[in-house]
Structure formats: structure tokens, C-alpha cells
Amino acid sequence: MEQMLSINPADLESASEPWVTSRPPIPTESVNSLVTNTTNIETSDPLYVSPLSAAPAGTNMTARTDAGYTGDMWNNKSVMVDLTTSGNTTTLIVMSERFDVTISRAWTEVGGVWQVPQSPTEPGYFLIRIDFQFESQGYQSMGWQNGTIRMARCDVAGP
């Protein structure tokens, strides 16, 4: 969600339009501190935006099966949350995560009429919702934990 604040508005726009049949992914980055070249620990890690009924080739996605979302997809991610060491053996503690991102334009009232701002003189409003699930190694008995993050973003044009 934090990265959504700095994403180019054109990328959010193309990901929010309901008539776009193959929405481009949101160009987010992930951090991998276990790389040889520590001067560049960020890697491209795009998030695909809903609704998405089939996984694009080469992506790690699974179908959502929870009520009301059948036919949609989860973005699957693995995040290293800790390291443990025993003797000469280091073990990564990895959390499995799933994200489902929806982006829509926020309606605004202009002159008593509700509409989506579409002119360059009006700010671009976006409603961003990220449903997530996570399961932590070592706590698998707890199963998948669920949550939702919501944010509204407004890009104000001006001099």
C-alpha cells in the first residue's frame, strides 16, 4: 500500500478502468536482502489488479475461492521475516502471503451531479483496496489470517 502513494497516476488509471480487458500490473518493488550484490536489493515485483480470471503466463497466482470472489486471483508472495541459526546452519523464516488488489475511480460531486473526474483540471481520485492473507512458518496451526487495507488517493494538479 505504501508504494501505491508513489505510483504514476497513469498506471493507476489504466489499472482502474473497467473497460480495459488486460489491465497492466502495478509496478511495485520488493526488497531481497539475501542477494550477492547488496547495492541493489530491490527487484521488480508487480501486483496484478482485479478482476483477473486467469493468471498471466509466468506469474505465481492462485484462484480465490472465498465467498463472492470466485473467478478472481490472488497474487502469491513469499516474504523473509527472520533468520535463525543453529551451529553452521542458517534457516530462513518465510511468510507466505496473498494479495488481491482492486483499484477504482472515486466518484465526486460536481455541481450537484456525481461523476468520475476526467478532465486535466480535476484531480484524479482512486480508491485502492488490498485484500490479503498470510500464513507464517512455525505458526501453520493458526492457518491463513485475513485482512483488508483501504486507501483513497488524490492527485491534485496545479501550478
Q: Is pLDDT above 60 for 158?
A: no
- Over residues 130-136, the mean pLDDT reads 85
Domain boundaries, the chain: 48-155
* Contact between residue 69 and residue 48 where contact means Cβ atoms under 8 Å apart: no
d(C-alpha 154, C-alpha 159), whole Å: 16
Query: pLDDT tens for residues 7-38?
Result: 887 777 777 765 556 677 888 887 766 555 56
Query: pLDDT tens for residues 29-87?
Result: 877 665 555 666 677 788 888 877 778 888 888 888 887 777 688 888 877 777 788 88
